[in-house]
Amino acid sequence: SAVISQKPSRDICQRGTSLTIQCQVDSQVTMMFWYRQQPGQSLTLIATANQGSEATYESGFVIDKFPISRPNLTFSTLTVSNMSPEDSSIYLCSGITGGNTEAFFGQGTRLTVV
Amino acid sequence: GIQVEQSPPDLILQEGANSTLRCNFSDSVNNLQWFHQNPWGQLINLFYIPSGTKQNGRLSATTVATERYSLLYISSSQTTDSGVYFCAVQNNNDMRFGAGTRLTVKP
């Protein structure tokens, strides 16, 4: 199994600012993903973080709003840019070691935009 | 993309009761996992079960991949079982989540 440390665990931010969320994995993982969970909703995939190249975004999510970095196999960041109250959500990262293996999640970042 | 449906959406139980949560999916999958989301938002891995049956204490799960469904059984429920239970499936690489079942166990 992999342990994923995600920070910050929570934050309250002013609209118009940006927040960068970090995920550190204790072992190398093949794939890393970023999810958003709006209040009372399920998890929605934002993007797949690709090592050394641009992330692959799902429909409805764009790089300018959610830039993602993945410089190596154990670390990734997600930035929520130019925030508005609608961005208030839980953001979670996950990692898997291969296409048919168990996924593990970070503790989540609870973001409130005021 | 693949569709994941969970039922029931909400479930209220008396402590000690048993329950069954269902997950249907629309296409063949490589993996299936059950998670419990705690009140702080953290996802707790319950089962990694692409097929077959597994048990862990009061919880067990069965996935029938050929019929595209999975079941999560909770026996002798406790108040600490309350929360949202998610089924998630993996087809190729990314994982897709169902809408969840919100379980409330009353003392």
Query: Which residue range forms the structural domain that includes residue B74?
Result: 4-106
What is the C-alpha R_g of chain A? Answer: 13
Sheet holding B4-7: strands in order across?
Answer: B4-7, B19-25, B69-74, B59-64, B52-56
First to last CA, chain B: 40
Q: What is the pLDDT of residue A54?
A: 87
d(CA A91, CA A109): 5
For residue B8, say if its preceding peptide bond is cis, omega within 30 degrees of 0.
yes
Q: How many structural domains comprise chain A?
A: 1
- Cα–Cα distance between B16 and A105 in angstroms, integer? 30
Query: How many degrees, rounded to 5, is the angle at CA B44 between CA A68 and CA B57?
Result: 160
* pLDDT by residue, tens only, chain B of 107 residues: 889 999 999 999 999 999 999 999 999 988 999 999 988 888 999 999 999 999 999 999 999 999 999 999 999 999 999 999 999 998 877 789 999 999 999 99
Write the CATH number for B35.
2.60.40.10
Instruction: Decide which of A28 and B36 is more confident.
Output: B36
Smallest Cα distance from A28 to chain B, Å: 16
Q: Where are the beta strands (DSSP E) in A65-108?
A: 68-72, 75-80, 89-96, 104-105
Element (DSSP H or E) covering residue B54: strand B52-56
Q: What CATH number does residue A51 fall under? A: 2.60.40.10
Contact A90 B96 (CB under 8 A): no
User: Which residue of B42, B45, B85, B91 to mutate against A (max A Cβ within 10 Å)?
Assistant: B42
Residue A102 banded pLDDT, cuts 50, 70, 90? confident
Angle at CA A26, nearest 5°, toward A35 and A11? 45
Per-residue pLDDT at A28 exceeds 70: yes
Alpha carbons B71 and A51: distance in angstroms, whole number? 35
Instruction: Provide, as residue numbers in chain A, all residues whose Cβ is less than 8 Å from the Cβ of B50.
Output: 100
A64-101 pLDDT, tens digit per residue, is: 999 999 999 999 999 999 999 999 999 999 998 876 68
Number of independent structural domains in chain B:
1
Residue A77 structural domain:
4-113
Residue A74 confidence (pLDDT)? 94
Distance in angstroms (rounded) separating the CA atoms of residues B91 and A100: 9
The three-state secondary structure class of B100 is coil
Report chain A's mean pLDDT, rounded to a whole number. Answer: 94
Are B40 and A108 in contact (CB < 8 Å)?
yes
* pLDDT for the residue A100: 66
Q: Which residue has the higher pLDDT, B25 or A30?
A: B25
Given this model, what pLDDT does residue A50 score? 85
Residue A53 is predicted with a pLDDT of 84
